[in-house]
């Protein structure tokens, strides 16, 4: 599904890590972790095709259109853009050919699913951080892309929102989607995501999340 070959990324002449070789199988669920500034978001942009690598290449076995969906961090979104929540979520239909009735049905369902019903006409600037994040995740849901790249999807979500997020991640995984998730919550990664790529300046490590991430102290003392 996704293969990196001798991939280097980062500022010109300053690769974030040694060359990365990585092969993610179709239907896999993978976390990307690392310290601040280790290159997690930059790598996600390279995987999404939004940023050119310094060297090496990324290969996807995907359809030419609609095969990949990317959830960026919130600060990349212009809150002043004059659209409402419903219009933001409906952008997930881009490139799809469905009847207006079918779109309306799916849009209503996904808004309800992400607990956004009643907020449809609220402008972006009037949304809380958690509401905006759930709207971005709802938009991702409508794309139905086989490869989903999520950069800190838990950001700004309260406890109930995080429960919703993990429920949907597991649902997407069970449906056969391939998921790559940047996450700072190591306990959640260990609990929910089977394999992890750790980015470090001296070299990346790809392993089982249980092998790579120590259990919480409460579990160690049990």
Checking if the pLDDT of 220 tops 70, the result is: no
Q: What is the share, in percent, of the chain residues with pLDDT greater than 90?
A: 83
Checking if the pLDDT of 4 tops 80, the result is: yes
Nearest 5°: the CA angle 97, 102, 105 is 140
pLDDT per position as a tens digit, 36-79? 999 999 999 999 999 999 999 999 888 767 689 999 998 878 88
pLDDT per position as a tens digit, 159-171? 999 999 999 999 9
Q: Which of 85, 13, 3 is nearest to 46 (CA)?
A: 3
Checking if the pLDDT of 222 tops 50, the result is: no
Give the global pTM. 0.91
Tell me if 145 sits within 8 A of 65, measured CB to CB.
no
Checking if the pLDDT of 151 tops 50, the result is: yes
Cα distance between residue 132 and residue 21, in whole Å: 35
In residues, how long is the chain?
A: 222
- Mean pLDDT calculated for residue range 151-160: 94
Q: DSSP secondary structure string, the chain?
A: -EEEEEEE-SSTT--SSSPEEEEE-TT-EEEEEESTTSSHHHHHHHHHTSS--SEEEEEE---SSSSEEEE--GGGS-TTSS-BHHHHHHGGGTT----HHHHHHHHHHHHHHTT-TT-TT-BGGGS-HHHHHHHHHHHHHHH--SEEEEESTTTT--HHHHHHHHHHHHHHHHTT-EEEEE-S-HHHHHHH-SEEEEE-TT--EEEEHHHHSPPPHHHHT-
Q: How far is CA 135 from the centre of its chain?
A: 14
pLDDT per position as a tens digit, 86-115? 999 999 998 888 899 999 999 999 999 999
């Amino acid at each position: 599904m996704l293969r990196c070959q001798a991939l280097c990324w980062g500022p010109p002449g300053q690769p974030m890590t040694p060359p990365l070789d990585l092969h993610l199988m179709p239907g896999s669920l993978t976390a990307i972790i690392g310290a601040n500034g280790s290159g997690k978001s930059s790598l996600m942009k390279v995987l999404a095709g939004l940023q050119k690598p310094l060297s090496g290449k990324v290969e996807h076995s995907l359809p030419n259109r609609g095969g990949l969906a990317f959830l960026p961090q919130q600060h990349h979104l212009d809150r002043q853009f004059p659209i409402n929540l419903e219009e933001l979520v409906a952008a997930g239909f881009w490139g799809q050919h469905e009847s207006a009735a079918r779109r309306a049905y799916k849009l209503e369902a996904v808004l309800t699913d992400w607990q956004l019903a009643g907020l449809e006409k609220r402008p972006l600037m009037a949304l809380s951080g958690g509401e905006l994040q759930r709207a971005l995740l709802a938009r991702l849901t409508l794309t139905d892309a086989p490869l989903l790249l999520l950069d800190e999807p838990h950001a700004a979500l309260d406890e109930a929102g995080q429960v919703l997020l993990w429920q949907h991640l597991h649902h997407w995984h069970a449906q056969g989607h391939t998921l790559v998730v940047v996450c700072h919550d190591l306990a959640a990664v260990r609990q929910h995501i089977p394999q992890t790529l750790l980015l470090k300046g001296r070299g990346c490590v790809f392993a089982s999340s249980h092998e790579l991430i120590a259990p919480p102290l409460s579990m160690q003392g049990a």
